[in-house]
Homo-oligomer: A and B are copies of this chain.
Amino acid sequence: MNPTIELLTAHRSIRAFTPEPIEQAKIETFIKAGQAAATSSFIQACTVIQVNNQQKRAALAEYAGNQPYVVSAPVFLVFCADMHRHKIACDLHHADMQSGFTEQFMTATIDCALFAQNVAIAAESEGLGIVYIGGLRNQIANVSELLGLPDKVYPVFGLCIGYPDQNPEVKPRLPLPMVLKQDTYTDAQDTALLADYDNEIREYYRNRTGGNKEMSWSEQISGMLVKEARPHMLSFLQSKGYLLK
C-alpha cells in the first residue's frame, strides 16, 4: 500500500481537538483540493461556509443535537449544495432555468460529497482529524436561516477539522464480499457474512467500552431504522427549490 492508500484506510472520526489553530492558507489549500474533485457536467454545485463566529457555532452545535466539537473544533465548515450561482449564470444569458428536478438535487448533493471528501483527505494528509456533522440536518431550516442561504442552496453536512486530541481505533467495515459484487447483485451469502460481521462488531464495542456496550451492526441498524428519519426533509428541500419533480 502506498502512503495515500494507507491514509485513506486509517480514517476514523475525531471528535476531540487540541486548541492549536489552523492557518487560513492551509484551509484554502484544502478547499482548492475539494474543488479539484470530479463535478457532474462541470456544474460545480458546492459552496462552503466557514463558520468562525462563536455565537453561530454555538447555535449550530445545538441544532446538530448538542455536539460540542462543532464549537471546539478550530475549523468548522458547512458544505452547501448550491445552484444559486447557476441561476446567476442563466440570468446573464436570459436563459429560462429549468429547476426542481430530482436529478439536479442528486448532482448538486453528490458534487458536495466528492468535494468534501477531498477536503477531508487533504486535512488528514496534513495530520489533522475530521468528523462529518450530518446532524446539521436535524434542524436544517434553522441552519439554512442562520447562514443566510438563498433559494437553491441547502446545507448538506458540516465538517469539523483540527489536530486530534484522541486516538480512536479504526471501526471494522462490512466484509468485502457484501460490498463488492461481480456483474450481478446477489445477496446469497449476505446473511451468513452478516452474522460473522455482527460478532466482529459486538467484540469491537466490548473491547472499546470495557464490556459496557455490546451491540452488533444489525442490532444498531435495526434499532435506528424503526424510527422516522428526519421527516421534515422533503418539505424543507422543496421550499429551497429542490425535489419538486
User: Is the beta-carbon distance between B125 and A2 smaller than 8 angstroms?
Assistant: yes
User: Is the beta-carbon distance between B28 and A5 smaller than 8 angstroms?
Assistant: no
Q: How far is the CA of A160 from the CA of B106 in the complex (A)?
A: 20
User: Is the beta-carbon distance between A107 and B90 smaller than 8 angstroms?
Assistant: no
Q: Mark A74-109, 1 if CB is under 8 A from B, else 0.
A: 000000100011101110110111110111101101
User: Is the beta-carbon distance between B41 and A134 smaller than 8 angstroms?
Assistant: yes
Within 8 A of B (CB), among A146-175: 147-150, 153, 156-157, 170-171, 173-174
User: Is the beta-carbon distance between B181 and A49 smaller than 8 angstroms?
Assistant: yes
**Which of B49, B88, B101, B229 lies in contact with A104, CB distance below 8 A?**
B229
User: Is the beta-carbon distance between A110 and B113 smaller than 8 angstroms?
Assistant: yes
Output the least CB separation between A89 and chain B (Å): 4
User: Is the beta-carbon distance between A173 and B10 smaller than 8 angstroms?
Assistant: no
Within 8 A of B (CB), among A48-64: 48-53, 56
User: Is the beta-carbon distance between B50 and A103 smaller than 8 angstroms?
Assistant: no
Q: Is A139 an interface residue (CB 8 A)?
A: no
Q: Is A70 an interface residue (CB 8 A)?
A: no
- Central interface residue in A7, A102, A191, by most chain B CB within 10 Å: A102
Q: A: which residues have CB within 8 A of B? A: 1-5, 7-11, 13, 27-33, 35-38, 40-44, 46-53, 56, 80, 84-86, 88-90, 92-93, 95-99, 101-104, 106-107, 109-110, 113-114, 116-118, 120-122, 125-126, 130-132, 134, 137, 147-150, 153, 156-157, 170-171, 173-174, 176, 178-187, 190-191, 194, 217-231, 233-234, 237, 243, 245
- List 18 other contacts, CB 8 Å, given A50-B182, A89-B225, A101-B230: A2-B125, A4-B4, A13-B38, A27-B180, A38-B130, A48-B180, A52-B183, A90-B225, A93-B218, A93-B219, A98-B226, A106-B109, A110-B113, A147-B185, A148-B185, A149-B185, A150-B185, A243-B243
Q: Which 6 A-B pairs have the closest CB atoms?
A: A113-B113, A89-B218, A4-B125, A95-B222, A103-B230, A35-B173
